[in-house]
């Protein structure tokens, strides 16, 4: 298989600080993505769905180089997004769908085509 996207045990952990008093802060870690692995072949069309807070947007942000993974390995078009974000940006595009921009009675691809025509 000619892989275009490869994730191998990718994880993302955020440090969260919460004020617990005048000078005290509590610090904890939140694991947004926990060891995800998958491959998408060149030319393959996939949907990436899951419940709120499952790490979907975080994963996409790592795939585009917006965020750096805490662990694991990922490649898009043979490029490490966190090291070569600009080069990757010339090769891919990303659309983040929100409820307000997707129509329940239209297939996803038709919603995308409609938005594309409106903003062209």
Note whether residue 103 is domain-resident: no
Q: Determine, yes or no, domain membership for 82.
A: yes
112 part of a folded domain: no
Higher per-residue confidence, 1 vs 74? 74
Question: Is residue 34 included in any domain, yes or no?
Answer: yes
**17-69 tens-digit pLDDT:** 888 878 888 889 999 999 999 999 998 988 888 888 899 999 999 999 999 99
pTM score, whole prediction? 0.74
- Any long-range contacts for 28-31 (C-beta under 8 Å, 24+ apart)? none
| Distance between CA atoms of residues 95 and 91, nearest Å | 14
**Residue 30 has what pLDDT?**
92
Q: What is the CATH number of the domain that holds 87?
A: 3.40.50.300
Task: Please indicate whether residue 23 or residue 97 has the higher confidence score (pLDDT).
Answer: 23
Are 69 and 10 in contact by the 8 Å Cβ rule? The answer is yes
Beta bridge partners of 93: none
User: Does 120 reside within a domain?
Assistant: no
Rg over alpha carbons for the chain, rounded to the nearest Å, is 17
Range of the domain at 56: 3-94
Cα(70)–Cα(32) distance, integer angstroms: 10
Query: What are the two backbone dihedrals, phi and then psi, of residue 74, each rounded to the nearest 5 degrees?
Result: -145, 150
Q: Name the domain count of the chain.
A: 1
User: Has residue 107 been placed in a domain?
Assistant: no
Q: Using CA atoms, how far apart are residues 116 and 106, in angstroms rounded to an integer?
A: 14
Beta strands in 61-108 (DSSP E): 71-76
36 belongs to a structural domain: yes
């Amino acid at each position: 298989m000619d892989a275009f996207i490869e994730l191998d045990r990718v994880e993302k952990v955020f440090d969260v600080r919460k004020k617990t008093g005048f000078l005290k802060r509590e610090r904890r870690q939140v694991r947004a993505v926990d060891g995800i692995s998958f491959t998408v072949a060149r030319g393959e069309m996939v949907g990436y769905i899951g419940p709120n807070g499952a790490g979907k947007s975080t994963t996409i942000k790592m795939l585009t180089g917006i965020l750096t993974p805490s662990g694991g390995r990922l490649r898009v078009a043979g490029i490490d997004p966190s090291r070569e974000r600009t080069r990757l940006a010339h090769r891919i595009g990303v659309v983040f769908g929100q409820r307000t921009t997707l129509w329940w009675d239209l297939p996803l691809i038709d919603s995308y085509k409609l938005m594309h025509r409106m903003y062209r």
